[in-house]
């Protein structure tokens, strides 16, 4: 009886059911970990803020009525107060969310793609290609990350695209290293030998057998590195090389606020908190993702 009901189920319905249960599976897993939930919640809030920020923000982040300068929090509708030019800090933070998210995501994607390509090439083809690429990685890893980003962004000049490029130039090595070691582990697996024995061409083994099996570490690494890039962007902007004022970014808000740190603490506190919370959220979610996905995707 049972088998007959299974066979009569048509395919599209079947796959729909499966998709739904995958979502359910994700949320069921997530609900078991409060840190994962917290991280996921923060990320959702950040995404909403960066997508719909301009309608949520109570004031125009660029509007600077000088008579309202340095208002403390909770005065005249300025929930987090105003800065030295009278701009609403909450509105500027919300506008800065977009910048941070774009930079974090774009850098992680760019560095991830470049680093993955290089790591896979080194790990799969081995030989002199591997030696050359990994020595380059070694050399770059011996430089402090933030210093390298500063140098590159000083050369390229300020601007959103340039800061993304310089962060990616500094960040691809991590991806290359981690992905290479993943590939090294996978290529020794017996199913790769089986694919060779079947007669699958070398490049196809890479695409069909190795890449799908390193997808999980890539995703985990992207989510964890995003936090690093958001902090790095803030540091670079703080030092004046990154996103230029008056465009609101958390880093340059810190920079401008530091001169008023004794008189008006709110200028520097709230951007700092935003950076901390964002990084915390991204990292909590990334950690949860790693813990859930890493042990061989058992439940799936």
Partner 1 sequence: MTLLEVKNLKKYYEISQGLFKPKVVVKAVDNVSFSIKKGETFALVGESGCGKSTTGKTLLRLTGTTSGEILYKGKDLLALSAEKMRSLRAEMQMVFQDPYASLNPKMTIKQILMEPLRVHNKFQPEERLEKILKILEIVGLSKEHLDRHPNEFSGGQRQRIGIARAVILNPDFIVADEPVSALDVSVQSQVINLMLELQKEFGLTYLFISHDLSVVEHMTDRVAVMYLGKIVELVDTEELFANPKHPYTQALISAVPASHPKEVKERIVLKGDVPNPANPPSGCTFHTRCPFAMDICKSVVPALTEIESGHITSCHLYTNNKEEK
Positions that interact with partner 1 (CB under 8 A): 3, 6-7, 14, 189-191, 193-201, 204, 208-209, 212-213, 296-298, 300
Using the minimum distance from each CB to partner 1, give the nearer residue, 58 or 212. Answer: 212
CB of 210 to partner 1, least distance (A): 10
Instruction: Give alpha helix (H) positions in 2-33.
Output: 2-8, 11-31
Q: Which is nearer to partner 1, 78 or 209 (CB)?
A: 209
C-alpha to C-alpha distance for 274 and 227, rounded to whole angstroms: 12
SS3 88: strand
| Separation of alpha carbons 37 and 119, rounded Å | 32
Q: Is 140 helix (H, G, I), strand (E, B) or coil?
A: helix
Structure tokens at 249: 């970014």
Distance CA 164, CA 232 (A): 10
Least distance CB 193 / partner 1 (angstroms) = 6
The nearest distance, CB 243 to partner 1, in angstroms, is 40
Q: Which two tokens stand for residue 99?
A: 């910048």
The first and second tokens of residue 20, run together, are: 């739904």
d(CA 161, CA 67): 35
Is the CB of 259 or the CB of 294 nearer to partner 1?
294
Minimum Å gap between C-beta 138 and partner 1 is: 20
CB of 285 to partner 1, least distance (A): 23
Nearer to partner 1, 69 or 290 (CB): 290
Look at residues 98, 108, 112, 33 and name the one whose alpha carbon lies nearest to residue 284.
33
Minimum CB distance to partner 1 smaller for 27 or for 191: 191
């Amino acid at each position: 009886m049972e088998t007959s009901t299974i066979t009569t189920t048509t395919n599209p319905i079947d796959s729909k059911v499966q998709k739904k249960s995958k979502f359910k599976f994700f949320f069921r897993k997530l609900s078991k970990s409060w840190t994962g939930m917290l991280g996921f919640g923060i990320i959702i809030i950040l995404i909403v803020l960066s997508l719909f920020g301009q309608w949520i923000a109570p004031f125009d982040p660029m509007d600077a009525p000088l008579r309202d300068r340095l208002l403390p929090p909770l005065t005249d509708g300025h929930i987090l107060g105003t800065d030295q030019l009278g701009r609403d800090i909450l509105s500027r933070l919300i506008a800065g969310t977009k910048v941070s998210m774009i930079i974090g995501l774009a850098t992680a994607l760019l560095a991830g793609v470049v680093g993955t390509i290089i790591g896979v090439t080194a790990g799969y083809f081995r030989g002199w290609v591997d030696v050359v690429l990994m020595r380059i990685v070694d050399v770059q890893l011996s430089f402090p990350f933030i210093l390298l980003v500063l140098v590159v962004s000083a050369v390229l000049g300020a601007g959103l695209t340039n800061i993304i490029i310089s962060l990616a130039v500094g960040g691809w090595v991590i991806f290359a290293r981690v992905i290479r070691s993943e590939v090294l582990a996978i290529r020794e697996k017996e199913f790769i030998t089986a694919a060779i024995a079947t007669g699958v061409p070398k490049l196809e083994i890479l695409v069909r057998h190795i890449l799908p099996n390193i997808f999980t570490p890539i995703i985990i690494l992207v989510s964890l590195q995003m936090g690093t890039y958001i902090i790095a962007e803030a540091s670079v902007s703080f030092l004046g090389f990154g996103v230029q004022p008056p465009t609101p970014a958390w880093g340059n808000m810190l920079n401008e606020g530091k001169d008023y740190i004794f008189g008006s603490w709110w200028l520097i506190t709230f951007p700092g908190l935003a950076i901390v919370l964002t990084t915390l959220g991204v990292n909590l979610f990334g950690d949860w993702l790693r813990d859930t996905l890493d042990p061989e995707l058992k439940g799936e």
